[in-house]
Amino acid sequence: MVDEGVYKFNPIIFAAIFIAFVFYTGLFSIKEDDDSFVSLVKLTDVKIIEGIVSGSPVKTHKGNNYLVNIIPSKVTSKNGIESSCKGKIPVLLKASAVEAYFPDKLFSKSNTSGAILCDNGANLKITGSYLLNAKLFSMNKVEQLDWSNNWTGVINHFRATTRLEFRRLLCAWGDAGGFLLALLAGMKEYTNIALYENFQKSGLSHILALSGMHLSLFSGISFFFLKNITGKRIASIINIFVIIIFVWFVGKSPSLIRALIFSLVSMFFSIFNIKNKDFFTIFSLSFLIHCGLFPKDIFNIGFILSYGALLGIILFSCFFEKIIICSLPHKISSSVASSISAQVFTAPVCLFSFGYFPIVGILSTVIISPFVNIFIYVGLFLVVLCFCFPICVPIGEFILKIIYNVIENFAYIFACFPCIKI
Protein backbone atom coordinates (compact mmCIF):
# COMPACT_ATOMS: atom_id res chain seq x y z
CA MET A 1 0.00 0.00 0.00
CA VAL A 2 2.97 2.31 0.52
CA ASP A 3 4.75 3.52 -2.62
CA GLU A 4 8.10 4.93 -1.54
CA GLY A 5 8.56 6.93 -4.73
CA VAL A 6 5.46 8.98 -4.06
CA TYR A 7 6.56 10.10 -0.60
CA LYS A 8 10.21 11.20 -1.10
CA PHE A 9 9.57 14.94 -1.25
CA ASN A 10 5.89 15.14 -0.37
CA PRO A 11 5.40 18.37 1.64
CA ILE A 12 2.01 17.24 2.99
CA ILE A 13 3.44 14.09 4.56
CA PHE A 14 6.48 15.99 5.84
CA ALA A 15 4.21 18.64 7.45
CA ALA A 16 2.07 15.94 9.13
CA ILE A 17 5.15 14.19 10.54
CA PHE A 18 6.54 17.51 11.77
CA ILE A 19 3.27 18.51 13.48
CA ALA A 20 2.97 15.09 15.16
CA PHE A 21 6.57 15.27 16.35
CA VAL A 22 6.20 18.81 17.74
CA PHE A 23 3.03 18.07 19.74
CA TYR A 24 3.62 14.51 20.91
CA THR A 25 7.17 15.19 22.09
CA GLY A 26 5.94 18.12 24.17
CA LEU A 27 7.91 20.78 22.28
CA PHE A 28 4.70 22.75 21.83
CA SER A 29 1.55 22.73 23.93
CA ILE A 30 -2.00 23.64 22.94
CA LYS A 31 -3.60 26.53 24.73
CA GLU A 32 -6.86 25.49 26.29
CA ASP A 33 -10.00 27.40 25.32
CA ASP A 34 -11.08 29.75 28.06
CA ASP A 35 -14.46 28.20 28.89
CA SER A 36 -14.24 29.11 32.55
CA PHE A 37 -17.32 30.60 34.18
CA VAL A 38 -17.29 34.40 34.47
CA SER A 39 -20.02 36.31 36.32
CA LEU A 40 -20.65 38.85 39.06
CA VAL A 41 -22.11 35.97 41.08
CA LYS A 42 -19.67 33.38 42.42
CA LEU A 43 -20.29 29.90 41.09
CA THR A 44 -20.55 28.54 44.63
CA ASP A 45 -23.40 31.02 45.31
CA VAL A 46 -25.39 30.18 42.17
CA LYS A 47 -28.84 28.72 42.74
CA ILE A 48 -30.45 28.98 39.28
CA ILE A 49 -28.85 28.59 35.85
CA GLU A 50 -30.53 29.48 32.57
CA GLY A 51 -28.66 28.39 29.48
CA ILE A 52 -28.21 26.25 26.38
CA VAL A 53 -27.14 22.60 26.37
CA SER A 54 -23.83 22.07 24.55
CA GLY A 55 -23.58 18.56 23.12
CA SER A 56 -25.58 15.48 24.04
CA PRO A 57 -25.92 14.38 27.69
CA VAL A 58 -23.64 11.54 28.80
CA LYS A 59 -24.90 8.98 31.29
CA THR A 60 -22.75 8.47 34.38
CA HIS A 61 -21.33 5.06 35.25
CA LYS A 62 -23.91 4.38 37.97
CA GLY A 63 -26.74 5.40 35.64
CA ASN A 64 -28.60 7.68 38.05
CA ASN A 65 -27.53 10.92 36.40
CA TYR A 66 -26.48 12.53 33.14
CA LEU A 67 -23.56 14.93 32.74
CA VAL A 68 -23.95 17.82 30.32
CA ASN A 69 -22.26 21.14 29.63
CA ILE A 70 -24.41 24.26 29.86
CA ILE A 71 -23.58 27.57 28.19
CA PRO A 72 -25.29 29.94 30.66
CA SER A 73 -27.01 33.16 29.65
CA LYS A 74 -28.10 34.16 33.15
CA VAL A 75 -27.55 32.97 36.72
CA THR A 76 -29.34 33.77 39.97
CA SER A 77 -27.68 33.65 43.38
CA LYS A 78 -29.11 32.24 46.61
CA ASN A 79 -29.94 35.84 47.60
CA GLY A 80 -31.92 36.47 44.43
CA ILE A 81 -29.22 38.49 42.63
CA GLU A 82 -29.30 38.02 38.85
CA SER A 83 -26.28 38.38 36.61
CA SER A 84 -25.31 37.79 33.01
CA CYS A 85 -22.39 35.41 32.47
CA LYS A 86 -20.27 33.50 30.00
CA GLY A 87 -18.30 30.27 29.80
CA LYS A 88 -19.47 26.70 30.41
CA ILE A 89 -20.77 24.93 33.49
CA PRO A 90 -20.76 21.12 33.84
CA VAL A 91 -24.16 20.12 35.20
CA LEU A 92 -25.40 16.86 36.71
CA LEU A 93 -28.99 16.17 35.65
CA LYS A 94 -31.17 13.47 37.19
CA ALA A 95 -31.99 10.54 34.93
CA SER A 96 -35.64 10.89 35.93
CA ALA A 97 -35.75 14.22 34.03
CA VAL A 98 -33.64 13.30 31.01
CA GLU A 99 -35.25 9.89 30.42
CA ALA A 100 -38.84 10.94 31.04
CA TYR A 101 -39.55 11.01 27.28
CA PHE A 102 -37.46 7.93 26.49
CA PRO A 103 -39.54 4.87 25.51
CA ASP A 104 -39.63 1.81 27.77
CA LYS A 105 -37.62 3.49 30.53
CA LEU A 106 -38.59 3.44 34.19
CA PHE A 107 -39.22 7.18 34.31
CA SER A 108 -41.19 7.26 31.06
CA LYS A 109 -43.87 5.11 32.71
CA SER A 110 -44.58 7.65 35.45
CA ASN A 111 -45.94 11.15 35.57
CA THR A 112 -42.56 12.61 36.46
CA SER A 113 -42.60 16.38 36.74
CA GLY A 114 -39.79 18.37 35.19
CA ALA A 115 -39.47 16.17 32.11
CA ILE A 116 -37.11 17.70 29.54
CA LEU A 117 -36.05 17.04 25.98
CA CYS A 118 -32.32 17.29 26.68
CA ASP A 119 -30.07 17.46 23.64
CA ASN A 120 -27.74 19.89 21.94
CA GLY A 121 -29.36 23.34 21.76
CA ALA A 122 -32.02 22.76 24.44
CA ASN A 123 -32.77 25.80 26.61
CA LEU A 124 -33.03 24.84 30.31
CA LYS A 125 -33.64 26.49 33.66
CA ILE A 126 -31.87 24.49 36.36
CA THR A 127 -32.24 24.97 40.10
CA GLY A 128 -29.66 23.39 42.37
CA SER A 129 -26.29 23.96 43.98
CA TYR A 130 -22.63 23.85 43.03
CA LEU A 131 -20.66 20.88 44.38
CA LEU A 132 -17.19 22.28 45.00
CA ASN A 133 -15.56 18.89 45.57
CA ALA A 134 -16.93 17.51 42.27
CA LYS A 135 -16.57 20.83 40.42
CA LEU A 136 -20.03 20.64 38.88
CA PHE A 137 -23.54 21.97 39.38
CA SER A 138 -26.08 19.44 40.67
CA MET A 139 -29.76 19.90 39.87
CA ASN A 140 -32.68 19.72 42.25
CA LYS A 141 -35.23 20.90 39.72
CA VAL A 142 -35.16 21.53 35.97
CA GLU A 143 -37.54 23.30 33.60
CA GLN A 144 -37.63 23.30 29.80
CA LEU A 145 -37.61 26.78 28.29
CA ASP A 146 -38.60 27.58 24.71
CA TRP A 147 -36.11 26.57 22.05
CA SER A 148 -34.47 29.45 20.21
CA ASN A 149 -36.48 30.74 17.25
CA ASN A 150 -33.42 31.34 15.06
CA TRP A 151 -32.37 28.84 12.41
CA THR A 152 -29.90 27.03 14.71
CA GLY A 153 -32.62 26.57 17.34
CA VAL A 154 -35.03 25.17 14.76
CA ILE A 155 -32.41 22.73 13.44
CA ASN A 156 -31.37 21.62 16.94
CA HIS A 157 -34.99 21.04 17.95
CA PHE A 158 -35.61 19.02 14.79
CA ARG A 159 -32.53 16.90 15.51
CA ALA A 160 -33.54 16.30 19.13
CA THR A 161 -37.09 15.23 18.24
CA THR A 162 -35.85 13.03 15.38
CA ARG A 163 -33.38 11.27 17.67
CA LEU A 164 -36.21 10.72 20.17
CA GLU A 165 -38.46 9.17 17.51
CA PHE A 166 -35.54 6.98 16.41
CA ARG A 167 -35.29 5.70 19.98
CA ARG A 168 -39.00 4.92 20.03
CA LEU A 169 -38.83 2.97 16.77
CA LEU A 170 -35.85 0.77 17.68
CA CYS A 171 -36.88 0.30 21.30
CA ALA A 172 -39.65 -2.03 20.09
CA TRP A 173 -36.98 -4.54 19.02
CA GLY A 174 -35.56 -5.14 22.50
CA ASP A 175 -31.83 -5.80 22.94
CA ALA A 176 -31.36 -6.16 19.18
CA GLY A 177 -32.92 -2.74 18.66
CA GLY A 178 -30.77 -1.25 21.40
CA PHE A 179 -27.63 -2.63 19.76
CA LEU A 180 -28.73 -1.27 16.37
CA LEU A 181 -29.43 2.11 17.97
CA ALA A 182 -25.86 2.24 19.29
CA LEU A 183 -24.44 1.30 15.89
CA LEU A 184 -26.55 3.71 13.86
CA ALA A 185 -26.76 6.74 16.14
CA GLY A 186 -24.26 6.27 18.96
CA MET A 187 -27.04 6.20 21.58
CA LYS A 188 -26.15 3.47 24.08
CA GLU A 189 -29.00 3.86 26.61
CA TYR A 190 -30.58 0.60 25.40
CA THR A 191 -27.42 -1.44 24.82
CA ASN A 192 -27.32 -4.63 26.88
CA ILE A 193 -24.75 -4.06 29.65
CA ALA A 194 -23.39 -7.62 29.43
CA LEU A 195 -22.87 -7.28 25.67
CA TYR A 196 -21.15 -3.92 26.13
CA GLU A 197 -18.73 -5.40 28.70
CA ASN A 198 -18.04 -8.43 26.52
CA PHE A 199 -17.22 -6.15 23.58
CA GLN A 200 -14.70 -4.32 25.76
CA LYS A 201 -13.07 -7.56 26.94
CA SER A 202 -12.95 -8.86 23.37
CA GLY A 203 -11.20 -5.80 21.95
CA LEU A 204 -14.33 -4.75 20.04
CA SER A 205 -14.99 -1.37 21.64
CA HIS A 206 -14.20 0.35 18.33
CA ILE A 207 -17.30 -1.25 16.80
CA LEU A 208 -19.60 0.48 19.29
CA ALA A 209 -17.68 3.76 19.00
CA LEU A 210 -18.92 5.47 15.84
CA SER A 211 -15.95 5.74 13.48
CA GLY A 212 -14.77 5.16 9.94
CA MET A 213 -16.43 1.76 9.67
CA HIS A 214 -19.88 3.21 10.25
CA LEU A 215 -19.28 6.21 8.01
CA SER A 216 -18.00 3.95 5.22
CA LEU A 217 -21.09 1.77 5.46
CA PHE A 218 -23.47 4.72 5.16
CA SER A 219 -21.37 6.31 2.43
CA GLY A 220 -21.25 3.03 0.51
CA ILE A 221 -25.00 2.47 0.73
CA SER A 222 -25.71 6.05 -0.34
CA PHE A 223 -23.29 5.91 -3.27
CA PHE A 224 -24.62 2.53 -4.43
CA PHE A 225 -28.15 3.86 -4.85
CA LEU A 226 -27.19 7.31 -6.14
CA LYS A 227 -24.72 6.28 -8.86
CA ASN A 228 -27.41 4.39 -10.81
CA ILE A 229 -29.63 7.47 -10.76
CA THR A 230 -27.26 10.42 -11.19
CA GLY A 231 -23.96 8.91 -12.35
CA LYS A 232 -20.77 8.48 -10.33
CA ARG A 233 -19.57 12.11 -10.42
CA ILE A 234 -22.83 13.68 -9.20
CA ALA A 235 -23.36 10.78 -6.77
CA SER A 236 -19.97 11.55 -5.19
CA ILE A 237 -20.99 15.20 -4.69
CA ILE A 238 -24.38 14.30 -3.19
CA ASN A 239 -22.68 11.70 -1.02
CA ILE A 240 -20.68 14.48 0.65
CA PHE A 241 -23.88 15.99 2.01
CA VAL A 242 -25.16 12.56 3.06
CA ILE A 243 -22.18 11.81 5.29
CA ILE A 244 -22.19 15.36 6.72
CA ILE A 245 -25.85 14.91 7.69
CA PHE A 246 -25.01 11.54 9.26
CA VAL A 247 -22.27 13.08 11.44
CA TRP A 248 -24.58 15.97 12.36
CA PHE A 249 -27.31 13.54 13.43
CA VAL A 250 -25.18 11.19 15.55
CA GLY A 251 -22.94 13.91 17.02
CA LYS A 252 -19.25 14.57 16.56
CA SER A 253 -16.44 12.59 18.16
CA PRO A 254 -12.70 12.65 17.29
CA SER A 255 -12.84 9.26 15.55
CA LEU A 256 -15.93 10.19 13.55
CA ILE A 257 -14.52 13.61 12.62
CA ARG A 258 -11.36 11.83 11.44
CA ALA A 259 -13.44 9.54 9.25
CA LEU A 260 -15.48 12.47 7.91
CA ILE A 261 -12.42 14.54 6.97
CA PHE A 262 -10.70 11.51 5.41
CA SER A 263 -13.82 10.76 3.34
CA LEU A 264 -14.22 14.39 2.22
CA VAL A 265 -10.56 14.64 1.18
CA SER A 266 -10.80 11.33 -0.72
CA MET A 267 -13.97 12.49 -2.50
CA PHE A 268 -12.34 15.82 -3.35
CA PHE A 269 -9.40 14.02 -4.97
CA SER A 270 -11.76 11.75 -6.92
CA ILE A 271 -14.18 14.46 -8.09
CA PHE A 272 -11.38 16.64 -9.48
CA ASN A 273 -9.35 13.69 -10.80
CA ILE A 274 -6.22 14.68 -8.88
CA LYS A 275 -3.36 12.43 -9.95
CA ASN A 276 -0.86 10.67 -7.70
CA LYS A 277 -3.42 10.39 -4.95
CA ASP A 278 -2.49 7.79 -2.36
CA PHE A 279 -3.72 6.82 1.09
CA PHE A 280 -0.67 8.19 2.91
CA THR A 281 -1.07 11.65 1.36
CA ILE A 282 -4.81 11.67 2.05
CA PHE A 283 -4.14 10.47 5.60
CA SER A 284 -1.55 13.21 6.18
CA LEU A 285 -3.75 15.95 4.74
CA SER A 286 -6.70 14.76 6.86
CA PHE A 287 -4.48 14.83 9.95
CA LEU A 288 -3.39 18.41 9.23
CA ILE A 289 -6.95 19.61 8.59
CA HIS A 290 -8.20 17.92 11.78
CA CYS A 291 -5.41 19.47 13.85
CA GLY A 292 -6.21 22.87 12.40
CA LEU A 293 -9.97 22.67 12.98
CA PHE A 294 -9.96 20.87 16.34
CA PRO A 295 -6.50 21.23 17.92
CA LYS A 296 -7.72 20.04 21.34
CA ASP A 297 -8.47 16.62 19.82
CA ILE A 298 -4.75 15.94 19.29
CA PHE A 299 -4.32 14.48 22.78
CA ASN A 300 -7.73 12.79 22.89
CA ILE A 301 -7.38 9.00 23.21
CA GLY A 302 -10.05 8.45 20.54
CA PHE A 303 -8.10 10.68 18.14
CA ILE A 304 -4.84 8.84 18.79
CA LEU A 305 -6.38 5.38 18.45
CA SER A 306 -8.29 6.31 15.30
CA TYR A 307 -5.30 7.77 13.46
CA GLY A 308 -2.96 5.12 14.86
CA ALA A 309 -5.14 2.26 13.60
CA LEU A 310 -5.48 3.83 10.15
CA LEU A 311 -1.74 4.53 9.94
CA GLY A 312 -0.99 0.95 10.87
CA ILE A 313 -3.27 -0.30 8.09
CA ILE A 314 -1.68 2.02 5.51
CA LEU A 315 1.89 1.08 6.43
CA PHE A 316 1.70 -2.64 7.20
CA SER A 317 -1.43 -4.23 5.72
CA CYS A 318 0.29 -5.20 2.45
CA PHE A 319 3.21 -6.72 4.35
CA PHE A 320 0.99 -8.88 6.57
CA GLU A 321 -1.30 -9.79 3.67
CA LYS A 322 1.62 -11.23 1.69
CA ILE A 323 2.42 -13.45 4.67
CA ILE A 324 -1.15 -14.57 5.36
CA ILE A 325 -2.41 -14.94 1.76
CA CYS A 326 -0.52 -18.22 1.41
CA SER A 327 -2.87 -19.97 3.81
CA LEU A 328 -6.12 -17.99 3.48
CA PRO A 329 -8.33 -16.71 0.62
CA HIS A 330 -7.64 -13.14 -0.50
CA LYS A 331 -10.70 -11.48 1.07
CA ILE A 332 -10.10 -13.14 4.43
CA SER A 333 -6.36 -12.49 4.37
CA SER A 334 -6.99 -8.83 3.57
CA SER A 335 -9.32 -8.47 6.56
CA VAL A 336 -6.91 -10.28 8.89
CA ALA A 337 -3.97 -8.22 7.66
CA SER A 338 -5.84 -4.96 8.24
CA SER A 339 -6.82 -6.05 11.75
CA ILE A 340 -3.25 -7.04 12.65
CA SER A 341 -1.86 -3.80 11.20
CA ALA A 342 -4.30 -1.70 13.22
CA GLN A 343 -3.42 -3.58 16.40
CA VAL A 344 0.32 -2.97 15.88
CA PHE A 345 -0.10 0.77 16.42
CA THR A 346 -2.95 0.75 18.93
CA ALA A 347 -1.67 -1.95 21.32
CA PRO A 348 0.97 0.27 23.01
CA VAL A 349 -1.56 3.11 23.35
CA CYS A 350 -4.15 0.80 24.93
CA LEU A 351 -1.61 -0.65 27.36
CA PHE A 352 -0.39 2.79 28.40
CA SER A 353 -3.84 4.41 28.63
CA PHE A 354 -6.06 1.59 29.91
CA GLY A 355 -3.55 -0.80 31.48
CA TYR A 356 -4.70 -3.78 29.40
CA PHE A 357 -4.86 -5.04 25.83
CA PRO A 358 -7.11 -7.91 24.61
CA ILE A 359 -4.85 -10.25 22.65
CA VAL A 360 -7.91 -11.86 21.06
CA GLY A 361 -8.89 -8.52 19.48
CA ILE A 362 -7.51 -9.45 16.06
CA LEU A 363 -9.44 -12.69 15.81
CA SER A 364 -12.64 -11.28 17.33
CA THR A 365 -12.64 -8.31 14.94
CA VAL A 366 -12.17 -10.53 11.88
CA ILE A 367 -14.99 -12.88 12.90
CA ILE A 368 -17.55 -10.50 14.41
CA SER A 369 -17.17 -7.46 12.11
CA PRO A 370 -18.84 -9.18 9.10
CA PHE A 371 -21.83 -10.13 11.25
CA VAL A 372 -22.05 -6.56 12.53
CA ASN A 373 -22.00 -5.25 8.95
CA ILE A 374 -24.79 -7.64 7.99
CA PHE A 375 -26.69 -6.59 11.12
CA ILE A 376 -26.45 -2.91 10.12
CA TYR A 377 -27.49 -3.50 6.49
CA VAL A 378 -30.45 -5.68 7.49
CA GLY A 379 -31.36 -3.26 10.28
CA LEU A 380 -31.41 -0.26 7.95
CA PHE A 381 -33.63 -2.12 5.51
CA LEU A 382 -36.01 -3.18 8.28
CA VAL A 383 -36.15 0.36 9.71
CA VAL A 384 -37.34 1.70 6.35
CA LEU A 385 -39.71 -1.25 5.86
CA CYS A 386 -41.28 -0.95 9.32
CA PHE A 387 -41.53 2.82 9.02
CA CYS A 388 -43.62 2.37 5.85
CA PHE A 389 -45.46 -0.74 7.10
CA PRO A 390 -45.69 -0.79 10.95
CA ILE A 391 -47.31 -4.21 10.82
CA CYS A 392 -43.86 -5.64 9.98
CA VAL A 393 -42.33 -4.62 13.34
CA PRO A 394 -42.63 -8.13 14.92
CA ILE A 395 -41.07 -9.71 11.82
CA GLY A 396 -38.24 -7.19 11.94
CA GLU A 397 -37.57 -7.99 15.57
CA PHE A 398 -37.46 -11.73 14.84
CA ILE A 399 -34.97 -11.35 11.97
CA LEU A 400 -32.69 -8.96 13.86
CA LYS A 401 -32.77 -11.16 16.96
CA ILE A 402 -31.27 -14.09 15.01
CA ILE A 403 -28.23 -12.07 13.87
CA TYR A 404 -27.95 -10.38 17.28
CA ASN A 405 -27.79 -13.77 19.06
CA VAL A 406 -24.90 -14.84 16.83
CA ILE A 407 -22.98 -11.64 17.65
CA GLU A 408 -23.82 -11.92 21.35
CA ASN A 409 -22.61 -15.52 21.60
CA PHE A 410 -19.35 -14.82 19.76
CA ALA A 411 -18.68 -11.78 21.97
CA TYR A 412 -19.22 -13.91 25.09
CA ILE A 413 -16.78 -16.57 23.84
CA PHE A 414 -14.04 -14.06 23.00
CA ALA A 415 -14.56 -12.22 26.31
CA CYS A 416 -13.40 -15.38 28.11
CA PHE A 417 -9.92 -15.13 26.58
CA PRO A 418 -7.15 -13.59 28.72
CA CYS A 419 -5.68 -10.17 28.02
CA ILE A 420 -2.31 -8.49 28.55
CA LYS A 421 -2.24 -6.29 31.66
CA ILE A 422 0.31 -3.90 33.14
Predicted pLDDT at 326: 65
In degrees, rounded to 5, the angle at the alpha carbon of residue 351 between the alpha carbons of residues 345 and 352 is 95
pTM for the full model?
0.81
Composition of the chain by helix, strand, coil, percent to 5: 60, 15, 25
CB count within 10 Å of CB 268 equals 15
Write out the chain's pLDDT in tens, 422 residues. Answer: 555 555 466 888 899 999 999 988 888 777 666 678 889 999 899 999 999 999 888 888 777 899 999 999 999 999 999 999 989 999 999 988 888 888 876 565 544 556 788 999 999 999 999 998 878 999 999 999 988 888 888 999 999 998 988 888 888 888 999 999 988 888 888 888 899 889 988 888 878 877 777 787 888 888 888 888 887 778 878 888 888 888 888 888 888 899 889 888 888 887 777 766 788 889 999 999 999 999 888 988 888 888 988 888 888 888 877 777 666 666 667 777 788 888 877 888 888 877 777 888 888 888 888 899 899 989 988 988 888 888 888 888 899 999 999 999 999 999 998 887 77
Predicted pLDDT at 352: 82
Q: Kindly state the helix (H) or strand (E) to which residue 397 belongs, with its residue range.
A: helix 393-415
Residues 6+ away with beta carbon under 8 Å from 76: 41, 46, 47, 48, 82, 83
Predicted pLDDT at 10: 82
Q: Which of helix, strand or coil describes residue 75? A: strand
What is the chain's alpha carbon radius of gyration, rounded to the nearest angstrom?
23
